[in-house]
């Protein structure tokens, strides 16, 4: 077995949390059950990985099998990578039947015709999801298994989720290959990025709980309102306001859990508006400014701002439009024309 | 009675007892809360500032998250002649101790402690601050 393959398998096993190693190796299916029985999965990971490499040696593992283990790892722990969303466009109207074998063939052929030194692996999952792992080399060097890109393509949709690797220069080639293989016309990057792959899917497939603009009349105010649950000695003077905030929040964010995003970034190219007497930045040039919101769970924290008393309700639509517009990177320019204010560019 | 800002909603005026002490809570992590308190102070009748107002600054345990300048808080206490208390709501011991302090102050302001008036107590607290 190639020394580099052995090292790659060893490092991949080390990434897996100890309690999950056995299940993941079983999913991989490359080592037999009897072989797995011989490994003590309670020892330290360093030793487990050595034992696993030993067994792989017996089975003569090659890079293709090692790559499959890597795909399995990334499928179970996708949140370790940052994913961007791309949307493909078709000019024609008829939806062609998706042929997986044809897709794989065309993809490999396109990629390899431009760059011979690549490792390409596919794995299909439920939900019509095709996972593609690509390890990039150069015209003169073998593929670097540690510099990989991942693509998740749901064949019944025009959406592709790409985990950008360090080698951004390969991105146009990758996009081209995807378009050709899937019989689409072109591909564009949506301004939507996150660590949580499932949340990105929730947003573009509209699987999160959305606010529906329904009109429902406000309930009549009763004089003898039942007391709030909790200590009856505490009287909330602003109960109406609190209820309004809850209602507005619910209208905007819906009831269910929010998709998980870590950032929202707003690039401002607007004019600086100041007191004319201040004379600051009087030249008619846009004031370049970048505003970035970051949080372990951005949308949930935005949802809790008004109830926590830290912001007024309703929040700015620039913040609340994120799931509907399916983007978290914005460019804001001056709106020319009748209405003052800022214009969010597509 | 808890309120998020002043003035209090007028539709509840007839349900409200006499107010003996107003404690303005400022979250040191939120500039918004300081602004809110400053705006609400404008709606308080001047007679309250004779010992029936205090400022309660919360969140002081987390030094890294201070958004409000201490100078601004001291100035507020000075301008409105009212004591400033500090506490950390997340720690039960401090929470209980602060509640006991406020309760004591409330008893004085409500006139339940003979010989001590709200005004004399207020000036006592202010002098010990300097």
pLDDT one-digit tens code per residue, A115-173: 889 999 999 998 889 999 999 988 899 998 998 999 999 988 999 999 977 677 888 99
Give the list of residues 6+ apart from residue A242 with CB closer than 8 angstroms, or none. Answer: A236, A307, B4
For position A314, what pLDDT does the model report?
A: 86
For position B100, what pLDDT does the model report?
A: 94
Interface contact A240-B12, CB threshold 8 A: no
CA distance A69 to A27: 9
For position A341, what pLDDT does the model report?
A: 40
User: Which of A7-16, A335-344, B30-39, B107-116 bottoms out in mean pLDDT, i.e. has the lowest?
Assistant: A335-344
Q: Which of B4, B12, B36 sits opposite A241 (nearest CB)?
A: B4
Q: Which of A235, A241, A310 sits opposite B32 (nearest CB)?
A: A310
CA distance B15 to B20: 15
What number of residues does chain A have? 346
Interface contact A237-B8, CB threshold 8 A: yes
Which chain B residue shows the shortest CA-CA distance from A242? Answer: B4
Pairing of strands B53-58, B84-87: parallel
Give the list of residues 6+ apart from residue B95 with CB closer than 8 angstroms, or none. Answer: B87, B88, B89
- CA nearest to A137, candidates A119, A124, A164: A119
User: How do residues B42-94 score in pLDDT, each as one tens digit?
Assistant: 999 999 988 899 999 998 888 788 888 889 999 999 899 899 999 998 889 99
CA distance A157 to A132: 16
Burial (Cβ within 10 Å: 0-12, 13-18, ≥19) of residue B83: buried
Ranges of chain A with pLDDT below 70: 93-95, 166, 210-230, 274-284, 335-346
Inform me whether the C-beta atom of residue A310 falls under 8 Å from chain B C-beta atoms: yes
Optimal mutation site among A223, A239, A309, interface B, most CBs of chain B within 10 A? A309
- CA nearest to B125, candidates B83, B77, B93: B83
Q: Which of A237, A310, A311 sits opposite B3 (nearest CB)?
A: A237
pTM for the complete prediction?
0.77
The position carrying tokens 């690549």 is A118
Q: Which of B4, B32, B33 sits opposite A238 (nearest CB)?
A: B4
Inform me whether the C-beta atom of residue A241 falls under 8 Å from chain B C-beta atoms: yes
Bigger pLDDT: A159 or B121? Answer: A159
Interface contact A241-B1, CB threshold 8 A: no
The residue-averaged pLDDT of B11-30 equals 88
Assess whether the previous peptide bond of A40 is cis (omega < 30° from 0).
no
For position A222, what pLDDT does the model report?
A: 44
For position A270, what pLDDT does the model report?
A: 80
For position A226, what pLDDT does the model report?
A: 46
Q: Work out the minimum CA distance from A315 to partner chain B, whole angstroms.
A: 14
Interface contact A311-B1, CB threshold 8 A: no
């Amino acid at each position: 077995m190639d020394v580099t393959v052995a090292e790659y398998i060893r490092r991949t096993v080390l990434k897996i949390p100890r309690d999950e190693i056995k299940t993941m190796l079983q999913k991989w299916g490359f080592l037999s059950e009897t072989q797995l029985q011989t490994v003590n999965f309670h020892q330290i990971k360093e030793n487990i990985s050595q034992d696993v490499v030993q067994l792989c040696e017996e089975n003569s593992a090659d890079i293709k099998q090692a790559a499959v283990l890597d795909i399995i790892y990334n499928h179970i722990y996708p949140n370790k990578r940052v994913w961007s969303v791309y949307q493909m466009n078709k000019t024609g109207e008829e939806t062609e039947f998706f042929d997986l074998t044809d897709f794989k063939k065309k993809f490999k052929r396109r990629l390899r015709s431009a760059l011979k030194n690549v490792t390409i692996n596919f794995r299909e999952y439920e939900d019509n999801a095709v996972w593609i792992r690509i390890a990039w080399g150069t015209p003169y060097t073998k593929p670097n298994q540690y510099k990989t890109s991942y693509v998740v393509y749901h064949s019944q949709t025009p959406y592709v989720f790409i985990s950008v690797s360090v080698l951004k220069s390969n991105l146009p080639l990758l996009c081209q290959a995807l378009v050709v293989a899937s019989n689409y016309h072109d591909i564009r990057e949506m301004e939507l990025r996150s660590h949580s792959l499932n949340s990105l899917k929730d947003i573009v497939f509209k699987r999160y709980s959305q606010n529906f603009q329904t009109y429902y009349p406000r309930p009549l105010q009763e004089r003898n309102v039942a007391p709030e649950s909790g200590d009856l000695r505490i009287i909330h003077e602003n109960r109406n306001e609190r209820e309004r905030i809850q209602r507005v929040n619910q209208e905007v964010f819906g009831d269910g859990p929010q998709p998980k995003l870590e950032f929202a970034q707003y690039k401002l190219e607007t004019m600086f508006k100041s007191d004319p007497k201040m004379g600051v930045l009087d030249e008619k040039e846009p004031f370049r400014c970048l505003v970035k919101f970051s949080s372990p769970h951005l949308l949930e924290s935005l949802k809790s701002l008004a109830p926590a008393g830290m912001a007024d309700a309703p929040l700015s639509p620039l913040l609340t439009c994120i799931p509907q517009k399916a983007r978290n990177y914005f460019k804001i320019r001056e709106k020319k024309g009748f209405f003052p204010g800022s214009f969010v560019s597509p | 009675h808890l309120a998020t800002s002043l003035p209090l909603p007028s539709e509840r005026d007839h349900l409200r007892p006499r107010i003996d002490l107003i404690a303005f809570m400022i979250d040191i992590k939120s500039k918004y809360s300081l602004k809110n308190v400053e705006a609400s102070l404008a709606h308080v009748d001047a007679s309250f500032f004779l010992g029936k107002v205090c400022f309660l600054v919360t969140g002081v345990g987390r030094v890294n998250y201070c958004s409000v300048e201490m100078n601004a808080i001291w100035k507020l206490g000075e301008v409105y002649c009212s004591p400033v208390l500090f506490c950390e709501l997340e720690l039960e011991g401090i929470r209980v101790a602060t509640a006991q302090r406020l309760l004591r102050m409330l008893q004085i302001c409500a006139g339940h402690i003979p010989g001590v008036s709200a005004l004399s107590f207020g000036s006592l607290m202010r002098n010990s601050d300097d």
